[in-house]
Amino acid sequence: MRNKLFKKNIMIFILILVFFLKISSIPIFADLNKFLELRNAGNYNAALLEIENQLKTEPENADYKLHKSIILSWQNKYAEAIEILKGIIAKHPNYIDAHITLARIYYWQKKYDIALNQINDFVLSKNPDNQEAIDLSNKIKQAQDEEYIKNKFIDNTLSDKNNNKDIALIKSDMQNKKINLVSTINVLRDYEPILNKYPYKEITFRAGAAYNTLLNQKSLTIFYKTGFIKQINNTWQDNEYFLSLNSLALNSEYYFKKLYLSSTLNLQHYNNYGAAYFKAKSNTIKIRPFILASNEITDFYKIYFAYSLEDWYNKEIFSRRLFIEDLHTLSFSNLFFYRKNYYSFDILRAIYSNGALRNYTDFILQTNQLLISTKTSNLHLNLKYKYRDYKNSHLHFYSLKNEFSSKNNLKLNYNLGYELSLVKPYTSIGHKFEAQTTIKLKQNINLITAGDYFFHAAKDKDREYNFRINLEYKY
């Protein structure tokens, strides 16, 4: 009899224990009236103090932690908010609001792929009718499309100089604290004896390190580069040179609602080891601003305005003296959206610091069609016509480009591209192949490699090879 009673008591005790363990895994909802009043009034500091006081009495209350993370995210303290949300999800993996809030913060940080993975894998896969998650997913996809289009406009604005390629690699995703190790190599071979009296081969190598941090949520980057430019002439060897390059750059970025401003202070030193009359040393300080402004007129019509100042080393035709040449660019674009496709009309004015005859105005018509879009990949077709008006001549550029990109893979993402171009009146046909891979070695370490190969057919037989590698550590 006693054994039966003892066993019965044991069973009741186990059931009670299981019950309490079960309810402890469910977020506890409590009276948050005072907190909500402060939050809705926009008094976030007081609201944060109130929710922290509540957490002192109930430190494991997941609902209180969620509210705290939301306030922190509204104060742009994303790292603290993400840490809290990850802690909530670790203990309560089915807490939908925590997953949605985490995805929203990644969206605000412009980490669109991570945000979309978060919302698809942990919310919509289990609750496909969750309207809040559906709306957020649509916003993320729209932001991805707009980011892609904005980058296309910037590509039209900036010149295709090798220096801009590795700078662009560094300046991508500047909303994170990170360290980059970068190396680039460019090989240019000019075979055209008519347009260029002295065919040459030019090799450019650069290596550098960049440290990016956030000060008051503003991006600040310190970037040191070293390298060389080696020019080899087949028919005029005393015109060859070997130019060593060193530069220290300080870059800051500011984001406003409709305005993006980037400014780079660049300290440069070069030393040329060419022929005796060609040797030279120089130290320079340059400021390179880039301004991008946008305005949404309607849901399907947007305008962009950009100004950039670029500089690079160049050589005078007659004296063969090295100098730093500046290029000022003003660009205006009209963008029209329709069913994930866009159409644009751009006007660009380029002004060189040396040689007014080379100043030009571009009129660009462009369309980008999203041919295929799946959960794991996109296929774009880009068609572009550009009319370039010089003071004494004009050129017509025609371009067709296919771009295939993978997405939403946590370990490996890649992009492949092919571009066919035609220049009139020279009837110069060009082919360009591009590839880029992003490999996630660890949670906070990425290896990014990119390469392209460009060559001319017909009379022009120019060749250009580019390869870039970037090791990125987010801390």
Q: Is a pLDDT exceeding 80 seen at residue 273?
A: no
Q: What pLDDT, on a 0 to 100 scale, did the predictor assign at position 22? A: 47
Higher pLDDT, 459 or 39: 39
Please tell me the least confidently modeled range out of 59-63, 280-284, 318-322. Answer: 318-322
Q: What pLDDT, on a 0 to 100 scale, did the predictor assign at position 243? A: 80
Average pLDDT over residues 276-286: 65
Please tell me the least confidently modeled range out of 39-43, 156-160, 307-311, 409-413. Answer: 156-160
Q: What pLDDT, on a 0 to 100 scale, did the predictor assign at position 417? A: 95
b vs e for 325-342, b when ≥16 Cβ sit within 10 Å of the residue's Cβ? bebebbbbbebebeeeeb
* Average pLDDT in the chain: 79
Please tell me the least confidently modeled range out of 122-136, 246-260, 329-343. Answer: 246-260
Instruction: Give the C-alpha separation, 152 to 157, whole Å.
Output: 9
Q: Is a pLDDT exceeding 60 seen at residue 319?
A: no
Average pLDDT over residues 305-317: 74
Average pLDDT over residues 426-435: 87
Average pLDDT over residues 201-209: 87
Q: What pLDDT, on a 0 to 100 scale, did the predictor assign at position 375? A: 74
Residue type, 148: Y
Delineate the domains of the chain, giving CATH numbers in brackets: 26-143 (1.25.40.10), 158-474 (2.40.160)
What band does 42 get if pLDDT is binned at 50, 70 and 90?
A: confident
User: What are the pLDDT digits (tens) for 86-144?
Assistant: 999 999 999 999 999 999 998 888 788 788 888 988 898 888 899 999 999 888 887 87
What is this structure's pTM? 0.73
Q: What pLDDT, on a 0 to 100 scale, did the predictor assign at position 25? A: 43
What band does 282 get if pLDDT is binned at 50, 70 and 90?
A: confident
Q: What pLDDT, on a 0 to 100 scale, did the predictor assign at position 30? A: 44
Question: What residues pair up with 263 in beta bridges, in sequence order?
Answer: 252, 289
What band does 398 get if pLDDT is binned at 50, 70 and 90?
A: very high
Tell me, letter by letter, the H, E, C secondary structure of 277-304.
Answer: HHCEEEEEEEEEEEEEEEEEEECCEEEE
Q: Closest by alpha carbon to 329, among 294, 302, 353?
A: 353
Q: Is a pLDDT exceeding 60 seen at residue 277?
A: no
The phi and psi torsions of 258 (rounded to 5 degrees) equal -125, 15
What band does 26 get if pLDDT is binned at 50, 70 and 90?
A: very low
Q: Write the CB contacts of 340 (distance below 8 Å, at least 6 apart in sequence).
A: 145, 370, 373
Q: In this structure, what token pair is assigned to residue 152?
A: 């296309």
Question: What residues pair up with 442 in beta bridges, in sequence order?
Answer: 445
User: What are the pLDDT digits (tens) for 343-392?
Assistant: 889 999 989 887 777 899 999 999 988 888 887 888 999 999 999 998 88
Q: Is a pLDDT exceeding 50 seen at residue 280?
A: yes
Average pLDDT over residues 440-469: 82
Q: Is a pLDDT exceeding 80 seen at residue 261?
A: no
Q: What pLDDT, on a 0 to 100 scale, did the predictor assign at position 54? A: 85
Q: Is a pLDDT exceeding 90 seen at residue 4?
A: no
Q: Is a pLDDT exceeding 70 seen at residue 279?
A: no
> Percent of the chain beyond pLDDT 70?
78
What band does 27 get if pLDDT is binned at 50, 70 and 90?
A: very low
Higher pLDDT, 315 or 60: 60
Are the CB atoms for 39 and 3 separated by under 8 Å? no
Q: What pLDDT, on a 0 to 100 scale, did the predictor assign at position 86? A: 92
Instruction: Give the C-alpha separation, 467 to 242, whole Å.
Output: 20
Pairs from 355-363 (Cβ < 8 Å, separation ≥ 24): 356/391, 357/390, 357/391, 357/392, 358/390, 359/390, 359/391, 360/388, 360/389, 360/390, 361/388, 361/389, 362/156, 362/386, 362/387, 362/388, 362/389, 363/387, 363/389
Residue with tokens 């792929």: 113
Tell me, letter by letter, the H, E, C secondary structure of the chain.
Answer: CHHHHHHHHHHHHHHHHHHHHHHHCCCCCCCCHHHHHHHHCCCHHHHHHHHHHHHHHCCCCHHHHHHHHHHHHHCCCHHHHHHHHHHHHHHCCCCHHHHHHHHHHHHHCCCHHHHHHHHHHHHHCCCCCCHHHHHHHHHHHHHHHHHHHHHHHHHHHCCCCHHHHHHHHHHCCCCCCEEEEEEEEEEEEECCCCCCCCCEEEEEEEEEEEEEEEECCEEEEEEEEEEEEEEEECCCHHHCEEEEEEEEEEEEEEECCCEEEEEEEEEEEEEECCCHHHCEEEEEEEEEEEEEEEEEEECCEEEEEEEEEEEEEEECCCCCCEEEEEEEEEEEEEEEEECCEEEEEEEEEEEECCCHHHCEEEEEEEEEEEEEECCCEEEEEEEEEEEEECCCCEEEEEEEEEEEEECCCCCEEEEEEEEEEEEECCCEEEEEEEEEEEEEEECCEEEEEEEEEEEECCCCCCEEEEEEEEEEEEC
Q: What pLDDT, on a 0 to 100 scale, did the predictor assign at position 160? A: 63
Average pLDDT over residues 224-248: 77
Average pLDDT over residues 402-427: 85
Higher pLDDT, 191 or 231: 231
